[in-house]
Amino acid sequence: MPEQRLCQYEPCSQKFTPPPHSSNRQKYCSEMCRSKAYRETNQEKLSQYHRKHRLENIDEYKAYDKAYKKANREKKNAWARDAYHRNPEKTLARTKAYKAEHRDKELAQAKAERAAKRQSIIICQNPDCGISFSNTSSTSIPKYCSRECGNKAWRNANRESLSQKAKEYRETHKEELRAYHAAYGATYYTTNIEETRAKHRAYAATHREESNRANAARHAAKREEINAKHRVYYEANKEQRSAKIKAYRKSHPEIGQAASSRRRARLAAAPVNDFTASQWEAIKQHYNHRCVYCPDNCWRCQRKQHKLTIDHIVPISKGGSHTVSNIAPACSTCNKKKNAGPPPRPVQPLLFTIPIIKRTGV
């Protein structure tokens, strides 16, 4: 007859017959008793292991708990309601006792969780930011490093709806917005007049062609109105404007000379009339501020004491053009001697050495 043994798990303590060819060390009647005995004798060790495993895989545990609660919410609520209705006093007493027993533990756990959240490093969820920052909130885990980042991310996520709302607002408040912008622009311009002018000059310098096109279109659309304003301003500031023009011509004589030369060429019906003051300066620099007709040993040319004048290689009276390829620098004496005749010395026209500079009003 097979030997009978006593189950070593105390709550069981049943006699059992081990199966044939089993180990002589078998102490339990079943696998369940063996597992229960192991859990009771290694409870602290298993608890530490489970806590460590849960902390290492906290996200998976949270996802599992959330999915389980969601799948069994109605069942769990129904079970809790039935248990409460069967023994309401006993359920309340058990809840109070549990809270009183575990109050210190729950408070310590909540405090530790808040400290861990504060010490945690979070990456800002704003795609344009993405910096790492420390959590300073004791109640929740923030997504953004600052309120500005949160607002910017929200605006980016709701850009279309915000644009639609802004468009609707502008359509329904046109007059109010126009009056507000006019008043604000006038106030800002008067309080920041130098800064505004500097900005306009810088923009015009970097966007010259665009500014010229915009100004030409504006003048073409409001020609009569602009001319009327100019006439009124000229009549009201005639003396001041004349003094300003005289002072400018006195400080920039080459510009006045170029303008007078263009006027004479226009009156003489020159075929080409596009010579400018900047081109005249380039020609004088090319010839080293010397008269092209004076002899090489002219002491005035060597000391650059000549007041150079514009000489047309082919006179305008004989069909010459007022352009860079027909201009040569000459002193007043040589220019008068040459008059409308041929050049006293051969001169190479500057056809390609001096670029044709675009006329900018000078």
Q: How many other C-beta atoms can be found within 10 angstroms of the C-beta atom of residue 147?
A: 9
Q: Assess if residue 22 is contained within a domain.
A: yes
Which position has the token pair 């510009």? 255
Alpha carbon of 18 to those of 10, 33, 35: distances in Å?
A: 18, 14, 17
Q: What is the CATH number of the domain that holds 328?
A: 1.10.30
Task: Say what the pTM is.
Answer: 0.37
Q: Which residues contact 11 (CB under 8 A, 6 or more apart)?
A: 36
pLDDT of residue 351: 56
- The answer to whether residues 56 and 26 belong to one domain is no
pLDDT tens for each residue of the chain, 362 residues long: 567 788 888 888 888 787 776 666 778 888 888 888 888 888 888 888 888 888 888 888 888 988 988 888 888 888 888 888 888 888 888 888 888 888 888 888 888 777 766 656 677 888 778 777 776 665 566 778 888 888 888 888 899 999 999 999 999 999 999 999 989 988 888 888 899 889 888 988 898 888 889 888 988 999 999 999 989 998 899 889 888 888 888 888 878 778 888 888 888 888 888 888 888 888 888 888 888 888 888 888 878 777 888 898 888 888 888 888 888 899 888 988 888 888 888 887 765 444 444 444 44
Q: Assess if residue 144 is contained within a domain.
A: no
- The answer to whether residues 18 and 60 belong to one domain is no
- DSSP state for residue 287 in the 8-state scheme: T
Q: What is the SS3 assignment for 45-83?
A: HHHHHHHHHHHHCHHHHHHHHHHHHHHCHHHHHHHHHHH
pLDDT of residue 168: 93
Q: Assess if residue 180 is contained within a domain.
A: no
State how many domains the chain has.
Answer: 3
- The answer to whether residues 52 and 30 belong to one domain is no
Q: Assess if residue 326 is contained within a domain.
A: yes
- The answer to whether residues 293 and 330 belong to one domain is yes
pLDDT of residue 180: 92
Whether the CB-CB separation of 275 and 322 falls below 8 Å is answered with yes
pLDDT of residue 360: 42
How would DSSP label each residue in 104-149? HHHHHHHHHHHHHHHH-EEE---TTT--EEE---SSS--SSSSHHH
Expressed as residue numbers, the domain containing 88 is: 47-101
